[in-house]
Homo-oligomer: A and B are copies of this chain.
Amino acid sequence: MNIGDVANRTGLPAKTIRYYEEINLIKPLRDANGYRRFREQDIHKLNFLGRARALGFTIEDCRTLLALYEDESRASADVKRIAREHLGQIDAKISDLRAMRDTLGHLIDACAGDDRPDCPILRDLGGKT
């Protein structure tokens, strides 16, 4: 399979697949003409990576998770620890975003949104008077 087919099958852009090879996440074979040739195991790894990325894991986490996935003697505790740390970061981000949304929401509600210059949003950003 060439990269285009793999892109179709995995949903990952060809650019991304090339990038994953460059950073040694996958190692597809090469045909005589220089084209990458992907085996089923490569595609399987790419799907793994796609799902892990969709859950927001960093590339380095993905690398570790992939290694654990292929290590039959792994301890699930290692996987769980990585996942929990990541969950913590997600929660932190969510609460940051919620704080922003709350503040911003109040300001927006307070703003007339007409053609006059008076604006609580700018007043707040400018230091509340």
Contacts and interface: CB of A to CB of B under 8 A. Distances in A.
Nearest to A80: B113
A7 to B, nearest CB: 18
Nearest to A77: B113
Interface in A75-128: 75-77, 79-81, 83-84, 86-87, 90-91, 93-94, 97-98, 100-101, 103-105, 107-108, 111-119, 121-122, 124-127
This chain: copies in complex: 2
Q: Range of interface residues on chain A?
A: 35 or more
The prevalent SS among residues of A at the interface is: helix
B68 A114 contact: no
A48 B83 contact: no
Interface of A: 44, 47-48, 51-52, 54-56, 65, 68-69, 71-77, 79-81, 83-84, 86-87, 90-91, 93-94, 97-98, 100-101, 103-105, 107-108, 111-119, 121-122, 124-127
